[in-house]
Structure 1
Amino acid sequence: MSSAPPLFIVGCSRSGTTLLRLMLTQHPDLHIPPESEFLLSLYDQAELYGTFEAPHQRWFFIRDLQTTEVSMGAYAFPIFDLSIHAAETALAERAPTDFAGAAAALFEASAHEHGKTRWGDKTPHYVRHIEWLSDAYPEAQFIHMIRDGRDVARSRVEAGFTSSMRRSALHWKEEVQSGRDARQHLSDHRYHELFYEDLVHNPSSVLREVCGWIDLNYTEHLLTFDRTGDASVPDEHAHLHENVTNAVDPSRAQAWRTSLPSRDVADVEAVAGDLLRDLGYDLTGARVPLWLRVVRGLYRNGRAQARAVVQTLKRLGIV
């Protein structure tokens, strides 16, 4: 494996992981491709790949990368920007190796293809699998991006990931808590929490701190992502990252305050208020209206009864 430790950017989706990736991959020494996902989905095939010494083992791996969908129509192999021959060569040169070593060989080859010496990965969902990754890559460092759950829930609903603020809030809570639980098993040099709000309000100072933590020299070039970031997002994901060509906008932090109805804020705080408070976010104290709590309870027992109650409430002008 490379002497330079890999960097994993993780966190609940819509928490700013793409923004951080686009910033850090501007560094002349660090390359971070789009999301991989395959590190978990293909690990079950590790026995098929063996030690990667035989040509067919390497080709099986490349074939699976070509046919494994990482998210929303994007596939694993293209993230490396490597030809099939270059990928096969990188694997052959690394053999004998295990699955993690083979994946690292491709990440490193991709970094070298871009004239860089160190690789990283930005896959938000890996926040639930930090323990596995930390064992597979004993020197790896993890940046856990955290954003106000009310903004995350709003963004996830707007992106079409879910239609429920409550489910979105629960997803945020579980993802963030998974990352925070994992830090108990890692040293301070391997796990770092970075808050989205700090990044967009003070990008230069925060990036300077991050560079020091990952042992890279800081450069103002990291802030030029808005001029080059559009080329670093897969076409399949472009509609989710319409701001990548815009400079950092501090107003994107705490946007929920002007965009979320009180009822939605109440839903998120009811589900995840304890974690929001633990992270230092202020709660509004908004409460789900009594009538809505009653209707939801009725829905759990029978939708027809709940519809009848809603119609009655509407006739009375309550809703």
Structure 2
Amino acid sequence: MNPQTSRPIFVIGCPRSGTTLLQQMLHSHPRIAFPSETRFVHTSYDVRHTFGDLEQEENRRRLAEWIVKGEDTKFKVLKLDAEAVIEEIVDGPPTLGSALAIIFRAYAREHGKPRWGDKRPSYFRRVPMLRRMFPDAQFIHLVRDGRDAVSSLKNMPWYHGDTYSAALTWREAVDMGKRLHRRLGPDTFYEFRYEDLVAEPEDTLRKVCAFLGEEFDPTMTKAYQHARETVPSARKWHLRTHEAPNTRNVGAWRDRLEDWEADLVEHVLASRLVDHGYALAGVSRPTAANLARYHRLAAHRWRSHRAHGLLDRLAQARDPNPVVSRLDGPVPLDGPSDEG
């Protein structure tokens, strides 16, 4: 077996870049289990010190119960036997990465698949965290035209930012993608465009599968059939996953952005848009006041990210246990793993 075919997969990107569509496509592959966003990976990592030394069984149990029974972790979306998962974590290796891998492997096992992945757009900011726990992971970065991503993101009911912050989020995502491409190499990091995915889904997914070391399966292009069963209609922002891939929303920013927004977004993202193959529309230069506001926010975010990076390094020094997953190889499909 190709050694890549048991590696965890993480999908990252600016929110509203098509990551949910890609998650559904990957889950439709017969060998890959890819759940909806679970929100327990980064949260458990951030509070890992709360549980103390995981060499102690009672601490592993507290960690397992916090993940499985916590109101904010969304473990329930996996539809797994909570008590069985808790016991499997308690009996597993004493590291946070192992506990998380046990959960995802249980989900993959439930679906009869040997490989698992996880999707959360904001993971683009947490790649060092993910690599600490899963050093063999592969990362897929999905890029969408920044103007379309911003115009969609700022209108989401769950997004509390504005046009300035949305533009900065896209800039941060593509800048991080550029750094990851350079640092991680072609067997660990793969980047492609949303527009190519919806225009030529089979050709694009074949390239994704080649990166993952998997054979392409035609069911991936019919992921909308699975999405209609698993993506609630109440999440109107994800209803496009119920449709066959199409380019209807490509370029929608022209109708969604006000003139001043289009001027600002294209101006501040221009070089990055061109780098990713997006043609500029030649909008007007934004006002000095709008540019100043954007750059003030950019400076604030830079300071905030620096501070969080320092705090994370200090937190790592206090880790009572390694965080790396000690579970290797494909998911055993005939019951819980006895590794560790």
TM over 0.5: yes
Q: Alignment RMSD, CA only?
A: 2.5
Q: Choose the corresponding residue for 1:41, options 32, 40, 43.
A: 43
Matched, 1:215 2:213: yes
SS at match of 2:135: coil
Contact 1:49 1:60 in 2 (8 A): no
SS at match of 1:193: strand
Counterpart amino acid of residue 120 in structure 1: G
Counterpart amino acid of residue 43 in structure 2: S
Partner deviation per Cα, 1:166-197 (whole Å, 9 max, x = no partner)? 22111211122123222322121000002101
Partner deviation per Cα, 1:56-107 (whole Å, 9 max, x = no partner)? 52243322443252xxxxx3311332112221232134x2231011100110
Partner deviation per Cα, 1:222-260 (whole Å, 9 max, x = no partner)? 12211120333367x723212221111112222223443
- Structure number with greater CO (CA < 8 Å, separation at least 6) is 2
Partners in 2 of 1:288 and 1:294 — Cα distance?
Answer: 11
- The equivalent of 1:239 in structure 2 is 236
Partners in 2 of 1:170 and 1:274 — Cα distance?
Answer: 14
- Runs (5+) with no aligned partner, structure 2: 294-340
Deviates more, 1:60-69 or 1:105-114: 60-69
Partner deviation per Cα, 1:16-68 (whole Å, 9 max, x = no partner)? 00000011101111111111332222113334163366155224332244325
SS at match of 1:33: coil
SS at match of 2:242: coil
Contact 2:5 2:214 in 1 (8 A): no
Partner deviation per Cα, 1:129-172 (whole Å, 9 max, x = no partner)? 11221232111000001000000010012213246322211121
Q: 1:297 to 1:276 in 2, by over 3 A?
A: closer
Q: 1:123 to 1:4 in 2, by over 3 A?
A: same
Q: Choose the corresponding residue for 2:95, options 87, 94, 98.
A: 98
Contact 1:263 1:286 in 2 (8 A): no
Contact 2:40 2:75 in 1 (8 A): no
Matched, 1:206 2:209: no
Q: Choose the corresponding residue for 2:271, options 266, 271, 274.
A: 274
- The equivalent of 1:25 in structure 2 is 27
- The equivalent of 2:57 in structure 1 is 54
Q: 1:129 to 1:143 in 2, by over 3 A?
A: same
- The equivalent of 2:152 in structure 1 is 155
Partners in 2 of 1:142 and 1:251 — Cα distance?
Answer: 27
Contact 1:150 1:265 in 2 (8 A): yes
Partners in 1 of 2:52 and 2:285 — Cα distance?
Answer: 53
SS at match of 2:227: helix
Matched, 1:196 2:194: yes
Partners in 2 of 1:76 and 1:52 — Cα distance?
Answer: 26
Deviates more, 1:23-32 or 1:177-186: 177-186
What percentage of residue pairs aligned between the two structures are identical?
32
Partners in 2 of 1:171 and 1:217 — Cα distance?
Answer: 33
Matched, 1:11 2:9: no
- The equivalent of 2:66 in structure 1 is 63
Q: 1:296 to 1:175 in 2, by over 3 A?
A: closer
- Runs (5+) with no aligned partner, structure 1: 70-74, 299-319
Counterpart amino acid of residue 237 in structure 2: L
The structure whose Rg is larger is 1
Counterpart amino acid of residue 156 in structure 2: A
Q: 1:295 to 1:281 in 2, by over 3 A?
A: closer
Partners in 1 of 2:280 and 2:270 — Cα distance?
Answer: 7
Contact 1:51 1:98 in 2 (8 A): yes
Q: 1:82 to 1:19 in 2, by over 3 A?
A: same
- Tell me the matched-pair count: 288
SS at match of 1:228: helix
Partners in 2 of 1:295 and 1:96 — Cα distance?
Answer: 52
- The equivalent of 1:317 in structure 2 is none
Partners in 1 of 2:284 and 2:231 — Cα distance?
Answer: 39
Partners in 1 of 2:193 and 2:25 — Cα distance?
Answer: 15
Q: 1:165 to 1:33 in 2, by over 3 A?
A: same
